[in-house]
Homo-oligomer: A and B are copies of this chain.
Amino acid sequence: MSPQSKLLAGVELGGTKCVCILGTGPDDVRAVERLPTAEREATLRQVEAVLERWRAQFGAPRALGIASFGPVDLKPGSPTWGFITSTSKLGWRDTDVAQRLGRRLGVPVGLDTDVNGAALAEGRWGAARGLDDYAYVTVGTGIGVGSIVRGRSIFGMNHTELGHIRVARVTGDTFAGVCPYHGDCIEGLASGPAIEARAGKPAAQLPPDHPAWDFVVHGLAQLMHTMVLTTAPTRIFLGGGVMSAQSHLFERIQQELKRSLNSYVFAPELDQGLAQFIVPPGLGTMSGPLGALALAADADNHAAKPLASFANASR
């Protein structure tokens, strides 16, 4: 296949695994490879090897999309654009990902956080089709939120990081939380590791009536109270390992959110539409890798216009 291939390459760089993907969308995935996210140099070399093997087999992709765990420097023109910065993941601080992979492949690079990528993929191909303002939340080894405003992820000072907001606590709860940066931010209170630290066993093993869920429901409802009032999503897609194993949480979070907002916000989404307001995502475990493809498609579209440059392809 020639370099004029329509194919796009994507890398979802997650905290525990990397998924490399080649294709144009969910109905046209040519190849997928999963690797553990281990020591950074070894991991990035493995990713490069996959991408180069695909290039030899299928031709050069039109663009590369990277959906990465964060925080990552997304500022156009920054010397460390595309670097993972102050992550709590050991050994990955100040690691160049996007400049390196872009140089290696020699194609335009689209870059965003893993959750922003997943949110965009849900909008293009999944459960958020037709929506302009919505959010994707994952509750698993961490808590991440991708907020889409008018069809695009938010980018100002840098990308958003709602998993690390501090929320109102249940009165009298003194659990210190597990976030190495913030202790009892929402990730520190309600992620999988936080639930395990509080309950003494993994979240997947807890029955629906375990008291640890009360704190998780309260914390996630507070996160969503904040989301409703700060970015006003018309729907929230709530996924990740903790949620998919504990479907009883959806209705409890909906009810706790309603109680917390106390009829202050005028919106049918919070009234008769509540059961449709907080729902599972549509692409399942493929939302992350497809997010990387969506970012590649955007980078390809940007590169087709004059004045687009490598460093701002993802804006």
Contacts and interface: CB of A to CB of B under 8 A. Distances in A.
Contact of A265 (B71, B225, B233, B267): B71
Interface stretch (A10-18, A161-169, A203-211, A290-298): A161-169
A234 B266 contact: no
A86 B264 CA distance: 6
Nearest to A73: B266
Interface stretch (A38-46, A96-104, A147-155): A147-155
A304 interface: no
Nearest to A228: B157
A156 B133 contact: yes
Contacts of A231: 154, 156, 160, 230-231
B149 A156 contact: yes
A85 B134 CA distance: 23
A4 interface: no
A147 B232 CA distance: 11
B181 A264 contact: yes
A14 to B, nearest CB: 19
Interface string A223-249: 001111111111000000000000000
A149 B157 contact: no
Given A71-B264, A133-B155, A157-B234, 18 more contacts: A71-B266, A86-B264, A86-B265, A133-B156, A133-B157, A149-B150, A154-B230, A156-B234, A157-B228, A157-B233, A157-B269, A158-B265, A160-B231, A166-B167, A168-B168, A181-B263, A230-B230, A230-B231
7 contacts: A133-B154, A149-B154, A154-B230, A157-B234, A158-B266, A165-B229, A165-B230
